[in-house]
């Protein structure tokens, strides 16, 4: 089941009942309608409204209010920048896997065992800085088999050890090429994971399903037969960059 996961949500994912995440019949509306702009509205809308109030006060001769205008505009402007949600063209071939996030590739590994995948797999880890687009996307078309939230710490997501100790949310997909898992991992600043995917949802390649607020890490677990097309240090863009392909 999908969730807004955060510091106060131990155990399995909790759900905030909002219009955005109300199911309609058997089709998931949340995954179709996800928007980072909407998620960020509680941050930038009040700031911009408060800027207008300070401006009205300043125009009445209270010059000190211009400081409030400036502070609110800076905060609101940063929030708008952080929650930006650019349109991405999904042009990958049928056998190609797209990046689940924007950022820098920090690891490409072959694993024999891991708690996050059944059997040998290939893991691609992506670090998202505070300046990255933080929307998460499906790497391949498939059906959501499970969504598992794990409480944890909030260490610097650039470090490899955070994969085991930080708060995370794992979305497992059943795809024509085998199971794939996208793990959203919180960072030192990012302490809120947003995941609107639910078990049973059908996701298309590159489709948005959530985000991690502020700096964070995203891991992609693929079948061992997938060939990675990226290296450590590569910059990737969610939905448009190809990170692996199948024969």
Using CB atoms within 10 A of its CB, is residue 16 exposed (0-12), middle (13-18) or buried (19+)? Answer: exposed
| Rounded CA separation 17/57 (Å) | 37
Active-site residue identified among 35, 216, 240, 241: 216
What Cα–Cα distance (Å) separates residue 206 from each residue in 92, 115, 226? Answer: 9, 25, 17
Instruction: Please say if 79 is a catalytic residue.
Output: no
User: At which residue do the structure tokens 């009205």 appear?
Assistant: 56
Residue 20, SS3 per DSSP: helix
Cα–Cα nearest to 102, from 193, 215, 197: 215
| CA angle (21 as vertex; 238, 182 as ends), nearest 5 | 35
Distance of alpha carbon 156 from alpha carbon 154, whole angstroms? 7
Question: Cα-flanking dihedrals φ and ψ of residue 144, to 5°?
Answer: -70, 115
Catalytically active residues, by annotation: 216
């Amino acid at each position: 089941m999908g969730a807004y996961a955060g510091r106060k949500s131990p155990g399995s994912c909790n759900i905030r009942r909002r219009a955005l995440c109300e199911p309609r019949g058997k089709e998931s509306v949340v995954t179709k309608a996800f928007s980072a702009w909407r998620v960020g509205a509680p941050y930038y809308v009040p700031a911009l409204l408060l800027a207008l109030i300070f401006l009205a006060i300043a125009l009445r001769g209270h010059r000190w209010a211009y400081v409030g205008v400036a502070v609110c505009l800076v905060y609101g402007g940063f929030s708008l920048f952080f929650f930006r949600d650019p349109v991405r063209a999904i042009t990958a071939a049928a056998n190609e896997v797209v990046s689940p996030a924007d950022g820098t590739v920090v690891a490409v590994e072959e694993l024999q065992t891991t708690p996050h995948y059944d059997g040998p797999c290939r893991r691609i880890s992506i670090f998202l800085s505070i300046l990255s687009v933080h929307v998460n996307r499906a790497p391949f078309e498939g059906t959501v088999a499970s969504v598992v939230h794990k409480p944890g710490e909030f260490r610097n997501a650039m470090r490899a050890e955070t994969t085991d100790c930080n708060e995370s949310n794992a979305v497992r997909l059943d795809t024509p090429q085998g199971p794939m898992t996208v793990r959203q991992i919180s960072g030192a600043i990012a302490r809120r994971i947003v995941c609107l995917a639910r078990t049973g949802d059908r996701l298309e390649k590159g489709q948005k399903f959530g985000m991690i607020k502020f700096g964070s890490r995203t891991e992609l677990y693929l079948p061992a037969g997938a060939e990675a097309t990226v290296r450590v240090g590569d910059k990737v863009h969610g939905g448009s960059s190809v990170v692996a392909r199948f024969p």
